[in-house]
Amino acid sequence: MNSRLRAALAGLASAAAALGLAELVAVATGPRSAPLIAVGGAIVDAVPEPVKHFAISLFGTKDKLALLTGTAVLLAAFAALVGILADRHRRYGDIGIGLFGLIGIATALTRPGASWTWALPSLVGSVAAAFLLRWLLDIGEAEDARPEPRDIATTTQRRRFIAQAGLVVGGAAVAGVGGRLLSTRRGVAAARKAVVLPTPGSVASAVPQGAELDIPDITPYRTTNGSFYRIDTALVVPQVDPDTWRLRIYGKVRNPVTITYADLLKRPMVERWITLCCVSNEVGGDLIGNARWLGVPVKDLLDEAGPLDGADQVLSRSADGFTCGTPTAVLRDGRDALLAVGMNGEPLPVDHGFPVRMVVPGLYGYVSACKWITGMQLTGFDDVDAYWVQRGWAPRGPIKTQSRIDVPRRGRSVRAGTVTVAGVAWAQHRGITKVEVSVDRGDWHEATLAEAASVDTWRQWSWPWDARPGKHTLTVRATDADGATQTSEEAPPFPDGATGWDSFEVTVN
């Protein structure tokens, strides 16, 4: 085997062992202390905003997997280089692995909520990698020195080295997978399953008979928990035990409040249909969903705490260190802003904030939908910027009036004749009063609106199109209850939500 290739493989095997062992140690110190997760989190915080937006637009809800995969590829390239350099002189390997360990330790210790124990996964992993790299390189050199005929020696060396490296990688895989499985077992799935949600004192309005149009491929009125979009900064889902969960309401308040999960479940509950939307949603995008939420009105909790003058922002804090700032006035203006414990009739899914999250109709999620919430600090917008505001996004984030064409599907051709054009439109907390469709940028035709359970949810719509052969452009726009019609001006999601009309070409045969 070529000595350079062998050295590169030794570096890769040692790095794999380091990551696997670190995952095992992270079972005790917490999954966010593992080096790959810690470094990935630091990258999320540090990369320029255009890069983040590009990642979300390209990968959607798979952006975290793409980030971790990319980080692992870069680490693999670095590990191979370290192996090649170490084959020339062992101290180069020690320096490279030491740099890996220092980066892992530094990023872990600077993550929100970190303790000194978070340094252990990277420390243990890098020490093990240093010994393994030397061992594998020594094996390779020893095989080169064997007095066997060249053709036999080459085959024997290759087999022996691959066997040894394979043992290292196999052990790393077992350690890594085992660590991840143990972390899962230490999770809160069992605790969530044991939760019995209280009966709401105020039940959600029944979905009207005409809210769900019988049209193939149109977006359903209700989004299932399994298909609800997920966009957040957590590379590993926080595992928050409801028995130890506490919510602090503090800061500029007369009466600081601390409540437990059991206390929260005893409070009067309301149930509401509310559509949530991500600010990263492009025009015509699918980072939006509608669910039936169960929770305690945020207004009641804030009234108990008694906001003081200057407390125009509620800075919510997540268990993973994320923050979002919501206008205090919005949370107290009578809308159904909830500290939610249930989603579509069951306890919150862990991925969506179990045990408690915030849900606020009419605001993009980055300023309102704090998952795994543990704190609500009453402060001022002039005093502190929340996570995304620090990165240039607008501080208040009201949802803009938008509409989308679901039918016909993009890229599909249709037959000439009467074709149903249909989709959804939304303007949470204002409601949709009109949707119009245009063909080839011509006259606007008013669509038929489906019913809606609330002004806080989207509405389905449909329009019969007399489609003639050829290529045609379909465009949609919506008008909300305030009389504001969706603007045609195109703008990207940054810094306060995308604008423009959903429009695309359809081939009619």
Report the b/e string of 249-265 with b at 16+ CB within 10 A: bebbbeeebebebeebb
Same domain, 350 and 295: yes
Residues 6 or more apart whose Cβ sits within 8 Å of residue 140: 1, 3, 6, 7, 10, 87, 157, 161
What 3-state DSSP class applies to 363? strand
Q: Is residue 211 part of a domain?
A: no
- Using DSSP's 3-state secondary structure scheme, residue 228 falls into coil
Residue found by looking up tokens 């957040």 in the block: 232
Considering the domain boundaries, does residue 223 fall inside one? yes
407 in the same domain as 310: no
Any idea what DSSP says for residue 33?
G
User: Could you tell me the two tokens for 448?
Assistant: 């038929």
Q: How many CB atoms lie within 10 A of CB 452?
A: 24
Q: What is the CATH number of the domain that holds 232?
A: 3.90.420.10
Distance of CA 368 to the CA centre of its chain: 14
Give the integer Cα–Cα distance in Å for 221 and 211.
7
Rounded CA-CA distance 506/410 in Å is 7
* Residue 432, in any domain of the structure: yes
* Dihedral sign, Cα of residue 354, residue 358, residue 360, residue 366: negative
Residue type at position 406:
D
Please count the other Cβ atoms lying within 10 Å of the Cβ belonging to residue 422: 26
Q: What pLDDT shows up at residue 72?
A: 83
DSSP state of 219: P
End-to-end CA distance of the chain: 60
Does 290 share its domain with 351? Answer: yes
50 CB burial (10 A radius; 0-12, 13-18, 19+): exposed
pLDDT of residue 144: 60
Number of domains in the chain: 3
pLDDT of residue 432: 98
441 and 320 in a common domain: no
Q: How far is CA 128 from CA 13, 43, 73, 95, 163, in A?
A: 11, 25, 20, 14, 19
pLDDT (0 to 100) of residue 13: 87
What global pTM score does this model have? 0.81
- State the sign of the Cα–Cα–Cα–Cα dihedral 124, 127, 133, 139: negative
CA triple 477-481-485, angle to 5 deg: 30
Give a yes or no: residue 201 inside a domain.
no
Q: What is the rounded distance in angstroms from the CA atom of residue 52 to the CA atom of residue 50?
A: 5
DSSP character for 32? G
In a domain, 204, yes or no: no
**Which residue segment(s) compose the domain that 466 sits in?**
402-508
C-beta of residue 41 within 8 angstroms of C-beta of residue 33: no
Distance, CA of 129 to CA of 15 (rounded, Å): 6
Determine, yes or no, domain membership for 458.
yes
Partners of residue 21 on adjacent β-strands: none
Q: Determine if residue 75 is left, alpha or beta; phi over 0 gives left, psi from -120 to 50 gives alpha, anything else beta.
A: alpha
> 18 and 135: one domain?
yes
pLDDT, residue 416, reads: 97
Rounding to the nearest 10 degrees, give the CA dihedral for residues 15, 17, 19, 23. -170
Asked if 481 and 431 count as a contact pair (C-beta separation under 8 A), the reply is yes
Listed residues 391, 413, 446: the one ending a domain:
391
Same domain? 181 vs 258: no
Does residue 192 belong to any structural domain of this protein?
A: no
Looking at the fold, whether 88 and 147 belong to one and the same domain comes out as yes
- HEC-encoded secondary structure of 380-431: CCCCCCCCCHHHCCCCCCECCCEEEEEECCCCCCECCEEEEEEEEEECCCCC
Residue 251 Cα distances to 321, 324, 469, angstroms? 17, 15, 64
Which residue bears the tokens 């980080």?
71
**Residue-level pLDDT, tens digit, the chain, 509 residues:** 578 888 898 898 888 888 888 988 988 888 888 988 888 888 877 777 677 667 766 766 677 777 778 888 888 899 999 999 999 899 999 999 999 899 999 999 988 888 999 999 999 999 989 988 988 888 767 666 565 555 544 555 555 555 555 555 566 555 555 555 555 555 788 899 999 999 999 999 999 999 999 999 999 999 999 999 998 888 888 999 999 999 999 999 999 999 999 999 999 999 999 999 999 999 999 999 999 999 999 999 999 999 999 999 999 999 988 999 999 999 999 999 999 999 999 999 999 999 999 999 999 999 999 999 999 999 999 999 999 999 999 999 999 999 999 999 998 999 999 999 999 999 999 999 999 999 999 999 999 999 988 999 999 999 999 999 999 999 999 999 999 999 999 999 999 999 999 999 999 99
Give dist(CA 213, CA 49) in Å, integer. 39
Per-residue model confidence (pLDDT) at position 224: 97
d(CA 169, CA 139): 16
* Residue 324: half-sphere exposure toward Cβ, Cα within 13 Å: 25
d(CA 108, CA 114): 7
One domain for residues 227 and 354: yes
Tell me which of 165, 185, 205 is where a domain ends.
Answer: 185
d(CA 152, CA 157): 9
Q: Does a structural domain hold residue 98?
A: yes
Instruction: Please answer whether residues 370 and 324 qualify as being in contact, where contact means their C-beta atoms are separated by less than 8 angstroms.
Output: yes
Domain end marker among 391, 425, 445? 391
Q: Do 296 and 179 share a structural domain? A: no
